[in-house]
Amino acid sequence: MMTQILFALPMATIVIGALVLMLLSHSRKFTMQRLNILTVFFLLISLAVQLMIIGEHSSTFLFQDIFGDSFILDDFASIFDLMFTVGAILTLLINNDYFKSRRYFSGEYFALILFSVFGMMMLSHAHELVSAFIALEIASLSIYALVGYHKNNKVSSEAMMKYMVLGSMTGAFFILGTALIYGVVSSTSLTEISMYVANHELQELTLLIVGSSFIMVTIMFKIGAVPFHSWIVDVYHGAPYPITMFMASTFKIAIFAIALRLYLVNFAPINSFWSELLQIITVFTLIGGSWLAINQKLVKRMLAGSSIVHSGYLLIALSSLGLGSEVAAPAIMFYLIAYFLSAVGSFGILSFIASQSKKQMSYDDFKGFAQKRPYMAIMMSIFMLSLAGFPSTIGFLGKFYIFTSAIESGQLLLAGLGILTAFISVYYYFKLIAVMYFYSSDAAEKKFPLNISTIVIAIMALLVIWGGIGTSLIPFIPGADGFIDIAKQAIISII
Amino acid sequence: MMDNILSILIFLPLFTAVLLGLFRAELKYLKIGAMFSSVAILLLVTWTAYNFDPDAGMQFVKHAPWIQNSGMSYFVGLDYLSLLILLLISFLMPPLYIYMYHENRKGYWYNMMLLQTGVTGAILSLDLVLFYLFWEMMLLPIFIMIGKYGNGMHQYNAMKIILMTILGSMSMLFSIMYIGYIYFDTVGMWSFALTDLATLSFNAKTSIWLTAGFLLAFVIKIPLVGFHTWMAPAYGSSPTPAVVIMSAIMAKLGIYGIWRFGFDLFETTLVYYAPTIITLALIGLLYYAIRAITEDNLRKMFAYSSGSHLSLIALGLFLTNLYAWSGSLYFIATHAMASAGMFIMIGLTYKRFKTVQISALGGIASKAPKFTFFFSFFALCIAGLPGTGGFVAELLIIIGAFKANFWIGVLTATTMLSAMMYIFWMLQRTLFGKANNDTQYKDLSLREVIMLLPLAILLLATGIMPSLFTPIFEPQLTASLQEVLNIIGGLK
């Protein structure tokens, strides 16, 4: 029992933290700054506990006598938990300046962030469809609220309405799919479902396939794959920077956590049925995302569009996974980390600039940026290079793993298309570098502001470089490929 | 020292640049630092060349694990081919820094140092992924330099060059990954080291696609005709140091890539591609020459001239006989020095007259004799005047072409003729005739003479006494050609 409580402690800490913050948020003593520090403190406690228990256990169900096998604790879930926690911490630290500069933030904001982290953690632990849905909704509802956090801003409110209406509708698909699956299997536990799938011929599974396709719709919507992408650019644009950052990186990781688990455990035998569908979606996602990203004038919208393309790369790996590639699952996890670092970094710089001025930040606003803020420009270039998959950054390795997984599973055309879209992405990422460096400005050079936000961004820039060239030559520091080993371990733990 | 020397050569400029950048060094120290690193490298390279054993194969090899999971390794080594280009780049950097003596924009200096690291790394790496890393890395400084310090439509042209070359590198990346996968499939582990991959044998269809991926990257870089649309605009609008490196070194890296990776991995498939490449190269010879004759902008004119000569080198490479190969190798060296000298002269012309349009120049000869001497000397070297290195190299390639096929030989021989045409006509219009502007005609200063003299002396030496240099390169060249011929011959 004690160990069970210990295992649940990371999640419990987050919920307690959220509740405490909700209570404290109306006290006048607590400024935004202090609340932020308190939130990070709760996250850090959770992180410490997670680090303590990771790797010390084989897969166990959490409180099996109460919840049955709804929640599982394995390396896979633990590693994703780590990512969410670290992601939330980084988001909060990077946006420290932004919170101070915008008056509309209040204490609930932090509670909502913690609730959504809690939802994501539940999602990665979920081993049963209804709990997965509840977890997904906890995370989503918090994020709906966060997107529309700037109440007086029309764009923000519009974004929230758009996201909430569409999101709830696709959420309904999840429930519908679950109902259909329950109708066939008479259980919603993943173990039961996978046993049922294993023991039956593909022809007997029609209803189950329909049901799981409905679940797929929800997942595709949340990651912004192309037929379900219409919300993404507007929502990313309308949301305040910290939320955009949080959605683009951390929330996306959470969705892939459940997608990977479903794929790897549950529906493995019927993956072959989906692979074609998934390939078609991938093609649309890659092309459509590139099209959206090319045509944007605002950098934030460009990043939103390009996040669709990055989902496309991940889908390539997902469909390779279905076709039996061994490196695909670790590749997805590695790519999520790579994308996380570069996206959070670039959004972080945008939010830093936004905290200094109220500009919309189109490409043109970056003219002469390299002269005004040379260090910031270098870091932004590093993030752009990483997003474009330029070698010597972590983004290159991420793409490398993704494409080799596609080649391994025989999807040469898909890999080729991926490379082609990576080439197109060079255009819109290098455009920003070009704008920053090619134009001179009259403004004098500003000093590099040393505060939490900028230091964290700088660390991330170094991590991006380290992730790309980190080598096993230098002793005591793990190389870039260290993470792949961890990811492989995690994948083994669920199979 | 022996097995780390290459790593030092690669990373010294980068290290210097990062160090200077972190301390936000003042311009004076920046210049000293750059100059120091380039001179140090020149000395180290001389030492390396002195210790180079002409009869042994790959030397100074360093093979260390890098990203182990996917078999990427840090694998560098030196043989006759990389030694040649290594000598060239390290020999060119100090004169370029002297040329940039008055340059006050700091970014210039940083970019040049990064460029040296990129180029040196690309020619020394024997691991495909490592090669790809440096291949891409050397693009960035060029991109920034054209875009920031160029002239004309430089921002547009910078974007154009980077997009076109990255299109090539992306296709190469695909091939690299696929080769890695084939190795994984047959051996059971990942590796991208050239020595490992050379043991593979591919089936014909795969090999054709893989080679196409590599060739696209190299052919764009050279560029052969049809892939050349970036060339003239980029050369035309880049600042002098960048254009020197581009024409003298980076274009040669396309050749180098085919030579190193093409002939190591896909000898037999290259035979399949040879007719196409030879045709393109022949068309290129003539097309570029005609464009050069009609061009009024000196930079673009020599861009086309450079394209024409690089087509000749590519031609020689694909003819695969000893004359053509030694000619190509020799031409890489002499053309690099001659075109570097020429583009420096064009840069000096621009500094003096603020124009590089031939129609706006004229009458320099009577006012500035030293300038005229060097200008015409480098121009004649490019034309391949007997007594200069270019002549020896072109002659060898032409002999090789005649050996392969009479008509190819005839067409190849026209290159000398057309080069003479545009060079002499250009000299007549720029240096002689009446002066059409009132600008002051400053002759070369001592600093400028010092920077040009070594290049000129080397060019003369390569022309008059080729036997001075050939022993270093010949044994390995013959051996590797023999190896290629064995495989191709076995096919026939």
- CB of B406 within 8 Å of a chain A CB? The answer is no
pLDDT confidence of residue B189 = 87
SS3 content of chain B, % helix, strand, coil (to 5): 80, 5, 20
Crossing angle of the two packed helices A75-94 and A482-494, in degrees rounded to 10: 130
Determine contact, residues B303/B376, Cβ cutoff 8 Å: no
- d(CA B413, CA B409) in angstroms, rounded, equals 6
Q: For chain B, what is the mean pLDDT?
A: 88
Smallest CA-to-CA distance from A381 within A338, A422, A345, A354 is with: A345
Using a CB-CB distance cutoff of 8 angstroms, which residues of chain B are in contact with residue A419? 170-171, 173-174
Ranges of chain A whose pLDDT falls below 70: 56-57, 266-270, 471-481, 495
Give the pLDDT confidence of B16-71 residue by residue, as tens digits.
Answer: 999 998 888 888 899 999 999 999 999 999 999 888 888 887 888 888 888 877 88
Q: Which of helix, strand or coil describes residue A60? A: strand
Q: Is B269 on the interface with A (CB under 8 A)?
A: no
Cα A129 to Cα A222: distance, rounded to the nearest angstrom: 16
Distance CA A225, CA A315 (A): 8
pLDDT of residue A313: 93
Average pLDDT over residues B321-327: 88
- Per-residue confidence (pLDDT) for residue A471, from 0 to 100: 64
Whose CA is closest to B338, among B390, B295, B301, B288?
B390
- Cβ of A484 and B69 within 8 Å? yes
- Asked if A472 reaches chain B (Cβ–Cβ under 8 Å), the answer is yes
**Interface A:B, Cβ pairs < 8 A:** 89
The CA distance from B321 to B324, in Å, is: 5
Name residue, tokens 């996974």.
A321
Question: Averaging pLDDT over each range in A23-32, B53-62, B171-180, B439-448, which range is the top one?
Answer: B171-180
pLDDT at A268: 60
Nearest CB to A479: which of B67, B129, B170?
Answer: B67
Within 8 A by CB and 6+ apart from A165, the residues are none
Q: Do B155 and A438 touch (CB under 8 A)?
A: yes
pLDDT exceeds cutoff 50 at B343: yes
Q: How many CA atoms lie within 13 A of A106 on its CB side?
A: 13
Q: Using CB atoms within 10 A of its CB, is residue B43 exposed (0-12), middle (13-18) or buried (19+)?
A: exposed
Q: Across residues B106-112, what is the average pLDDT?
A: 89
Residue A200, classed as helix, strand or coil, is coil
pTM value is 0.93
- Determine the Cα–Cα distance for residues A57 and A458; give it in Å rounded to an integer: 35
Q: Tokens in use for B32? A: 């000293």
Burial of A317 (C-beta count, 10 Å sphere; 0-12/13-18/19+)? buried
Alpha helices in A295-367 (DSSP H): 299-322, 328-356
CB within 8 Å of A457: residues ≥ 6 apart: A94, A345, A348, A349, A352, A379
In 3D space, the residue among A425, A334, A337 whose CA is nearest the CA of residue A384 turns out to be: A425
Tell if the CB–CB gap between A415 and B67 is shorter than 8 Å. no
Model confidence at B490: pLDDT above 60 = no
CA distance A397 to chain B (A): 10
Contact between B177 and A431 using a beta-carbon 8 Å cutoff:
no
Cβ B147–A423 below 8 Å, yes or no?
A: no
- What number is the average pLDDT over the span B102-121? 90
Could you tell me which of A174, A316, A325, A156 has the C-alpha nearest to residue A238? A156
Chain B hits for A470, CB-CB cut-off 8 Å, are: 67
What is the arithmetic mean of pLDDT over B236-263? 90
Six token digits for residue A443: 């403004």
3-state class of A73 per DSSP?
strand
Cβ neighbors of A310 (< 8 A, separation 6 or more) are A289, A335, A339, A343, A387
Pairwise CA distance, residues A50 & A43, whole Å: 10
> Is B110 an interface residue toward A (CB < 8 Å)?
no
pLDDT bracket for residue B492 (50, 70, 90): very low
Q: What is the pLDDT of residue A453?
A: 85
CB atoms within 10 A of CB B206: 13
Report cis status (omega within 30 of 0) of the bond before B471: no
User: Which helix (H) or strand (E) segment is B73 a member of?
Assistant: strand B72-78
- B193 φ/ψ angles, rounded to the nearest 5 degrees: -70, 135
In angstroms, the Cα distances linking B381 to A221, A348, A403, B391, B440 are 65, 54, 47, 8, 28
